[in-house]
Amino acid sequence: MLDLKNVTHIYPNGTKALDDVTLSIPKGMFGLLGPNGAGKSTLMRTVATLQTPTQGSIQFGDIDILKDPETLREQLGYLPQDFGVYPRVSAYDMLDHMAVLKGIASKADRKATVETLLNQTNLWDVRKKAIAGFSGGMRQRFGIAQALIGNPELIIVDEPTAGLDPEERNRFLNLLAEIGENVVIILSTHIVEDVSDLCPKMAVIAEGRIQLEGAPLELIENTKNTIWSKTIKREELDAYRAKYDVISTRLFAGATIIHVLSGDNPNDGFAPVNGGLEDVYFSTLAATRRSASAETAAA
């Protein structure tokens, strides 16, 4: 179990990236969903011991992460959003080098580790190829291979499917699902489908705060009879936004489809929506924006 209590981080320029974050994350896949700039990467770097929060505590099992970061690093696998490697080195040699850095001194043990990971991530056939020649999906699979060195108990992946084509995304998510049963895996992303496909537990972060947490299916059930949909003309959008709590818009076949949040049927041609996680996410962000506007107006 990973426990974060009252974690706050303020950068030297005064930006409050994290604001009193409290979370308990059990074994399995946990989705941290939020827009760009919400504080996801700051939180992941903090848990990964790459920066120290301004205040708060983080505990992983018996390890106090802030007091004993080295012990946590022995049990950590981390795939950051911007994962850089030596591009002209082969996948095999790079993993072997990283295994040395992770403390696997025996050449035989490293060989077994590297070969297992290359097969597990479906990179065996390109093991001698320079990483510079890898596709985006292959680089992400290599990234998770290096994160798995040493059989970590805590794995953090930050925006892992951004920029991947649908086939590579599915391959990568299937790989995460295979390894996510007996360890804590935090999937930090702004892509709703990644969380809905993989995670039995999740939280939404925005403005540096945890705005919502729970099981996706339960959160979706809570939106029942509150989300309504209508197809309108694009030039009508501003008028509908002025009249209704529009939480999302999308185009389909040239038409604009809006989803609004309302406890009662707004009539006016709206139809009820069998809400999904996307509606949970967008309604949460809409509530966050309203709250932020109210705080600004009151200041």
Annotate 46-107 with DSSP letters as a single string. Answer: HHTTSS--SEEEEEETTEETTT-HHHHHHTEEEE-SS----TTSBHHHHHHHHHHHTT---H
Confidence of residue 82 (pLDDT cuts 50, 70, 90): confident
Q: What angle do CA 192, 145, 208 make, to 5 degrees?
A: 40
- Determine the pLDDT at residue 178: 82
Count other Cβ atoms within 10 Å, centred on residue 147.
23
The pTM of the full predicted model, rounded to 2 decimals, is 0.87
Average pLDDT over residues 58-69: 96
Confidence of residue 85 (pLDDT cuts 50, 70, 90): low
- The tens digit of pLDDT for each residue in 138-167 reads 888 898 899 999 999 999 998 888 777 888
- Determine the pLDDT at residue 175: 82
- Determine the pLDDT at residue 254: 81
Query: What Cα–Cα distance (Å) separates residue 50 from each residue in 66, 96, 150, 183, 259?
Result: 10, 23, 19, 21, 40
Token pair belonging to 263: 């406890």
Instruction: Give the percent of the chain with pLDDT over 70.
Output: 99
Going by C-beta distance under 8 Å and a sequence separation of 6 or more, which residues neighbour residue 212?
Answer: 203, 204, 219, 280, 284
- Determine the pLDDT at residue 284: 92
Rounded Cα gap, residues 94 and 87, in angstroms:
9
Confidence of residue 180 (pLDDT cuts 50, 70, 90): confident
CATH architecture for the domain at 2-220: 3-Layer(aba) Sandwich (3.40)
Confidence check: pLDDT of 296 > 80: no
- The tens digit of pLDDT for each residue in 89-119 reads 999 999 999 999 888 989 999 999 999 999 9
**Across-strand partners of 2?**
25, 60
Rounded Cα gap, residues 145 and 151, in angstroms:
11
Confidence of residue 243 (pLDDT cuts 50, 70, 90): very high
- Determine the pLDDT at residue 135: 86
- Determine the pLDDT at residue 52: 95
Token pair belonging to 205: 């972060």
Average pLDDT over residues 163-183: 82
- Determine the pLDDT at residue 81: 78
Token pair belonging to 27: 């074994």
Instruction: Give the lowest-confidence range in 21-35, 48-62, 254-268.
Output: 254-268
**Domain boundaries in the chain?**
2-220, 223-298
